[in-house]
Chain A
Amino acid sequence: MSLAFEHTAPDFIEPVLGWRAWLVVERNGAPRLRSLFVPTIWRPRAELVAECLCPRVLPLPRVLRRPRHDAPGRRCECGVYATDLKTTLRYLRNARGLDDRPLARVLGRVSLWGTVVECDRGWRASHAYPAEIVVPARSLGGDPVVPLEEVALGLSDYGVAVRLVEAGRPKELLEALASERAPEAA
């Protein structure tokens, strides 16, 4: 008699917590998180489920495209990204909205779960949701379109801690955040 189980035990039962950066853009009159490199809006109180956007983002000839697959593919570059604080700050500083004028640039911790590909300096996952949003109290460059306090208030729609950190430069943010204890895994 063979026993075949479709479901295998998970490797972990707590989400992975990493850092990532977002642009804040206006949608229907409210500030919303947007991924830095793809025009994905993170909806409040809804998990973000990754899909492979590579065929759309990279206009490769058909023969060079990877076959359709669930995200994150181990050999692809798809999935919801998170990394360490230092790397996040580097990307945050240079983040620009391609199609939107961002209201602000923010960072935070993100919970990752589902299928997770662990990489040298971070993770790519199939499911994600912000665990905490940090709004630098001083603009990282250029004048903010709306007051940052207003941005922080609007981001409370996500139902997670949103806080203004008295810092503006990446080095100040790193010093302010690096010494803090990670929040309890959700």
Chain B
Amino acid sequence: MKIGKPRRVYTVEPVRIPVPAEPDKAPPPAKPVPSK
């Protein structure tokens, strides 16, 4: 990919790394309610 010549170099240290965490485990499925 052609994006031209380098202009400058800098460092970026995000306060929060922008990578989503693994989702929490899904809750167990609700037990079926027996019909009367």
Contacts and interface: CB of A to CB of B under 8 A. Distances in A.
A47 B16 CA distance: 13
Contacts of B18: 15, 111, 113, 129, 131, 185-186
Contact of A123 (B3, B15, B19): B3
A91 to B, nearest CB: 6
A114 B6 contact: no
Given A15-B18, A45-B22, A46-B19, A121 B10 contact: no
Contact of A13 (B13, B19, B22): B13
Interface in A5-24: 8, 10-16
Given A13-B14, A15-B14, A114-B11, A120 B4 contact: yes
A116 B9 contact: yes
A168 interface: no
A10 B21 contact: no
A119 interface: yes
A31 to B, nearest CB: 17
B20 interface: yes
Interface residues of B, number: 23
B31 to A, nearest CB: 28
Contacts, number: 97
B23 interface: yes
A30 interface: no
Nearest to B3: A122
A121 B4 contact: yes
Contacts of A121: 2-4
A10 B11 contact: yes
14 contacts: A12-B12, A13-B13, A37-B1, A45-B22, A112-B12, A117-B6, A118-B7, A118-B8, A119-B6, A120-B7, A124-B3, A129-B18, A186-B14, A186-B16
Interface of B: 1-23
